[in-house]
Each structure stands twice: as structure tokens, then as C-alpha cells.
């Protein structure tokens, strides 16, 4: 799964994601106060092929936990995660490190850029960690930044960029190795609504033009509107999913709320 960058078979294959009986509990406290908090209690779903998909659900329903497990940032308690036919839940720590750096992209609500580095250096960071061939990577990073409308901002440090620009740099960094899959946890959460809309449009374009599978957690119906399908979590389980075709933002919000409403 970890062949040389830019020449990988992975990107030629349609992206796929398969999740089975996923369970995750967190243990809190110590001694007699020790107790476990179930975050995921058996999540199953499949996504076949490129596209832009949303995960919605109430606060605490398990959205971030799900994304962290899919991205190999945390270990499952039970269940299976298959990305492009590879079992992420069975990877060793060193396989996970490469998986995170090369095979997928990850974007968070906070942009996580290094403040002492320029936009271009931030985008190139994964290849610097990897000793990847620099000229090809540099050309790719420049191309990504230009494609995201940041051609004139490449030498700016993060504090000289707007929130929307910083998030686009973070997405360019996540796309450096052309991963077929991008995970994003509330990527528009720190942006105003105009920048949020633009970012969602960018992710949609990325999914369609680069044939990537983009899975994004969001609370906002107006952001999820850019996706073709919405998965709704409720109390650590998949409550259901629906396609967004023909729905306006109000209708989408209602569908998500109805599915995500905790049982009385």
C-alpha cells in the first residue's frame, strides 16, 4: 500500500471505505471512580467510489471518534476498517504512520499549521518527513496552492493569512500525496459562513476532479448541502443516511435532526 509517491496504484483505483461493527469505549477516572464511556457501539457502513459525503449527528454522538479511527489516529476496541482493501485496524504502528502520511489526508477544525513556516513549507511538510523527491513535490505543492487560489500567498506565514486561506493550505498539505481519501472533522468550524461555503465548494471540486472520497463531519446543513449523501450518527450508532438531491438546507437539517434525535 505504500509505494513511491505520485506513482501509486492506489490513486488509480476507485476509493473505497468499509466499516464493520465498529466499537470504541473511553475509560475515565481511576480506582473505584473508573468507568467507561461508550463512544461507538457498532457502526457499519460502506462507501464505494469518489464523492463528497457528510457525517452529522448531535454533539457527543461519536463523529470525531469515528473519524479518528478511520484516519488511524486511535485504535478500535472491536470491528473492522477497510480502506482500499487494506485493514487499517490490523496495521502496526509503523504501517499506520505511513498510512496517515501517504494514503489518506486529514483536515481538522483547527488548521494545525506550523507558525514559523511559510504556506509552501507547510504544504511540503509531509514530504520533508518522508525524504520524498523534493523537486517533484515542490512542483506539486505549488500547483495545489495555485489551484486553491493561493499562488500569491505561498511565502506568507500562517499569521499573515486569513482563516479561509489557512484552511486551504491545510487541505493542500493533506492532498500532497494525492490520497484517494480525505477525512475532515468540521473543517469549516473556525470559518465565517462565506469562507465556509467556499471551502465546502473546494472540497466538492476536489472530490469530483481528483476522484477522491471526501468524508466530512459537519454540524451545518448549509455545508452538508454540498455533499451528495449524509450519514447520521446517534448515540454511537449509524441512525441512517440519505441523499441530499432535491433537498434545500432547511429540509436537510430536519432530516438530520430527525434521524439524530436521541431515543426518549
According to the binding rule CB under 5 A, does residue 188 interact with Mg ion? no
According to the binding rule CB under 6 A, does residue 64 interact with ligand ATP? yes
- Alpha helices of the chain — where are they, by DSSP H? 63-70, 93-98, 119-130, 134-147, 163-174, 193-209, 221-224, 249-260
Per-residue three-class SS string for 175-232: CCCCCCEEEEECCCCCCCHHHHHHHHHHHHHHHHHCCCEEEEECCCHHHHCCCCEEEE
x-marked contacts with Mg ion along 33-72 as a string, rule CB under 5 A: -------------------------------x--------
**Window contacting ligand ATP (CB under 6 A); options: 59-67, 97-105, 126-134, 241-249:** 59-67
According to the binding rule CB under 6 A, does residue 57 interact with ligand ATP? yes
Instruction: Give the residue, chosen from 1, 6, 16, 60, that forms a contact with ligand ATP under the rule CB under 6 A.
Output: 60
Question: What CA–CA distance (Å, rounded) separates 151 from 165?
Answer: 11
Q: How far is the CB of 257 from Mg ion (least distance, A)?
A: 17
Q: How far is the CB of 260 from ligand ATP (least distance, A)?
A: 10
According to the binding rule CB under 6 A, does residue 61 interact with ligand ATP? yes
Q: What are phi and psi of 184, to 5 degrees?
A: -135, 125
Distance of CA 84 to the CA centre of its chain: 15
First to last CA, the chain: 45
According to the binding rule CB under 6 A, does residue 28 interact with ligand ATP? yes
Please count the residues of this chain forming the interface with Mg ion, following the rule CB under 5 A: 1
Q: How far is the CB of 57 from Mg ion (least distance, A)?
A: 9
- Contacts of ligand ATP in 36-55 (CB under 6 A): 37, 39
x-marked contacts with ligand ATP along 207-246 as a string, rule CB under 6 A: ----------------------------------------
DSSP bridge partners of 35: 28
Pick the closer one to ligand ATP by CB: 12 or 34. 34
CB 71 within 8 A of CB 106: yes
Taking each helix axis from N to C end, the angle separating 163-174 and 119-130, rounded to the nearest 10 degrees, works out to 20
Using alpha carbons only, give the angle 45, 57, 48 rounded to the nearest 5 degrees: 25
Q: How far is the CB of 59 from ligand ATP (least distance, A)?
A: 3
According to the binding rule CB under 6 A, does residue 254 interact with ligand ATP? no
Residue (of 74, 22, 52) closest to 182 by Cα position:
52
Q: Which residues contribute to the site for Mg ion (CB under 5 A)?
A: 64
Q: Which residues contribute to the site for ligand ATP (CB under 6 A)?
A: 26, 28, 37, 39, 57, 59-65
Amino acid at each position: 500500500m505504500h509505494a513511491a509517491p505520485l506513482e501509486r496504484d492506489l490513486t488509480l483505483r476507485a476509493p473505497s471505505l468499509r466499516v464493520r461493527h465498529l466499537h470504541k469505549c473511553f475509560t475515565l477516572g481511576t480506582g473505584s471512580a473508573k468507568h467507561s464511556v461508550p463512544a461507538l457501539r457498532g457502526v457499519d457502513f460502506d462507501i464505494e467510489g469518489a464523492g463528497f459525503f457528510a457525517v452529522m449527528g448531535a454533539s457527543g454522538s461519536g463523529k470525531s471518534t469515528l473519524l479518528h479511527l478511520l484516519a488511524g489516529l486511535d485504535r478500535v476496541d472491536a470491528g473492522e476498517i477497510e480502506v482500499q482493501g487494506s485493514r487499517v485496524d490490523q496495521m502496526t504502528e509503523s504501517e499506520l504512520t505511513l498510512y496517515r502520511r501517504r494514503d489518506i489526508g486529514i483536515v481538522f477544525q483547527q488548521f494545525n499549521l506550523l507558525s514559523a513556516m511559510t504556506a509552501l513549507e507547510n504544504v511540503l511538510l509531509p514530504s520533508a518527513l518522508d525524504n520524498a523527491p523534493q523537486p517533484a513535490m515542490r512542483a506539486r505543492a505549488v500547483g495545489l496552492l495555485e489551484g486553491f487560489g493561493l499562488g500569491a500567498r505561498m511565502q506568507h506565514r500562517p499569521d499573515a493569512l486569513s482563516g479561509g486561506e489557512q484552511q486551504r493550505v491545510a487541505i493542500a498539505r493533506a492532498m500532497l500525496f494525492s490520497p484517494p481519501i480525505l477525512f475532515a472533522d468540521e473543517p469549516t468550524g473556525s470559518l465565517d459562513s462565506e469562507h465556509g461555503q467556499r471551502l465546502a465548494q473546494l472540497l466538492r471540486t476536489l472530490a469530483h476532479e481528483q476522484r477522491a472520497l471526501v468524508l466530512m463531519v459537519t454540524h451545518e446543513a448549509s455545508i452538508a448541502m454540498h455533499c451528495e449523501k449524509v450519514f447520521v450518527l446517534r448515540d454511537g450508532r449509524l441512525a441512517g443516511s440519505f441523499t441530499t438531491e432535491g433537498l434545500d438546507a432547511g429540509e436537510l437539517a430536519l432530516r438530520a435532526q430527525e434521524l439524530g434525535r436521541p431515543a426518549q
